[in-house]
Chains A and B, each alone.
Chain A
């Protein structure tokens, strides 16, 4: 049989983002894969050292642009830990609410990008339509559709206006109705099941060893959720359990990853309702946020794609001395060759799409 290396990327309709996947195929079966990143390397860590602490929130938004609020939030938590600042309770609840809304918007973006990969192009329109509702909702407090610069060191930029809760409730009820419709459409579709069941399987122990976290790990049956294990903001006061899914034969396959994100959307809506109901009154910004900081600190949060960690080292000046970013997709892409082998070339969009890749964060 003919064995050859094929480049999928950097410009490819399937790859969500700019990266190159070199696969070695024997006929149609994949025997090896080598991912290549770096087409979007903006050296955020180096230019972050030239900017003051509060100016870096513009850079963190653009790290993973599909889920911008969560990355700025991780940076602000690390900077607050470094400076010894605590955000007031109302700011913590607002952060929780907008983070969960952002998580829903990110999962809808994933849905809108994953289904066209399988050939279901109408899914793109459904995903975009529903995501617009949530982007309009997030535009109300922050002013931006995609990149917000809303979470600041010490709190949030401005308070939620009155009427926000009613709008959010209306939007979430609409989404719940539509998700029921999509579940009927996709879960019972024979072609969708054939393309997803048993494709891209990895076991839970392998996933933990390879450093996979987030929905990709929870879809293998491991109940590890940083919002519960290493809690922050208002999550300790909310009532929820990690959601898990497992493939039919154990481990995680494309269908369990798809179901995991749909279930997480339902869980996020529940968390938004709880956070908006329990929100206390008060200020939304800490009393005083210092300009200079020294020492070292790190915080990790549950990003829409996994465990995001930021490590900051300060040397007493108003700029970071060293800023290190952990991206969950960086480790997942490095593990991808393991569960691409043995499948056909046409399974590559399904497997890589179901991981929900965002190249902005891997290529810092």
Chain B
């Protein structure tokens, strides 16, 4: 494959490895022949582009995706691990949903303490101005794929504290929310229905994972 057909970074087509556009610090073109000099991250991007282009052109990507998407999707749907975060009253109902009367663990819900090991962030209370940067940090520490459930009126739009000076009007003002569960407080049965709704959303809207862009 000649270099002119490579998709991706146009600078690589010219064989330039430097990040600057200043002509004085740019590496000069090699005197003759085809030379390609890359940093390690550029090399990885180049390999990624190359593999994606081959798989896309020959149609292998589509075939493998069609086979593996149901398997990965089944895994994502039936093991949603939320973060062990309790903000306010809905957190007690989240805990009650994990109790023996309404067992949430039968859906694969296992609460983890570290955001790096979680799939779902359940926002179960009003988000105060002091808490907002910490919650955003927690959301960014979670690895893809991740979803956010806004549980309760306070997370949907401020709730009973909509006219307070220190409450953010809903979690969706600073992070993307996937499922909204109304209620004040949300009954454990409603939280289970929220988990089922999230499972339906994952089944229908989540793309496959083979060479995902």
Which of these, A17, A38, A62, A135, contacts B86 with CB under 8 Å?
A: A17
Measured CA separation A112–B126 after assembly (Å) = 24
Chain B interface, >50% SS class: loop
Distance in Å: Cβ of B129 to nearest Cβ of chain A: 8
Contact B99 A125 (CB under 8 A): yes
Measured CA separation A47–B138 after assembly (Å) = 29
Q: Which residue of A lies closest to B101 (CB)?
A: A132
Interface set, chain A 20-59, CB cutoff 8 A to B: 38-44, 46-47, 50, 58-59
Distance in Å: Cβ of A62 to nearest Cβ of chain B: 6
B150 within 8 A of A: no
B80 within 8 A of A: no
A138 within 8 A of B: no
Interface range on chain B (Cβ under 8 Å from partner):
20 to 34
Contact B165 A46 (CB under 8 A): yes
Provided the pairs A11-B138, A18-B131 are in contact, do residues A66 and B100 lie with their beta carbons within 8 angstroms?
A: no
Provided the pairs A129-B99, A146-B185 are in contact, do residues A18 and B87 lie with their beta carbons within 8 angstroms?
A: yes
List residues of chain B with CB within 8 A of the CB of A251: none
Measured CA separation A58–B184 after assembly (Å) = 10
List residues of chain A with CB within 8 A of the CB of B125: 18, 40
Which segment of B67-75, B89-97, B197-205 sits at the interface?
B89-97
List residues of chain B with CB within 8 A of the CB of A129: 99-101
A309 within 8 A of B: no
Contact A147 B185 (CB under 8 A): yes
Q: Which residue of B lies closest to A127 (CB)?
A: B99
Interface set, chain A 179-222, CB cutoff 8 A to B: none
Distance in Å: Cβ of B182 to nearest Cβ of chain A: 15
Query: Which residues of chain A have a CB within 8 Å of any CB of chain B?
Result: 10-13, 16-18, 38-44, 46-47, 50, 58-59, 62, 65-66, 109, 112-113, 124-125, 128-129, 131-132, 135, 145-147, 360
What 3 A-B pairs are tightest by C-beta distance, nearest first? Answer: A128-B99, A65-B89, A13-B113
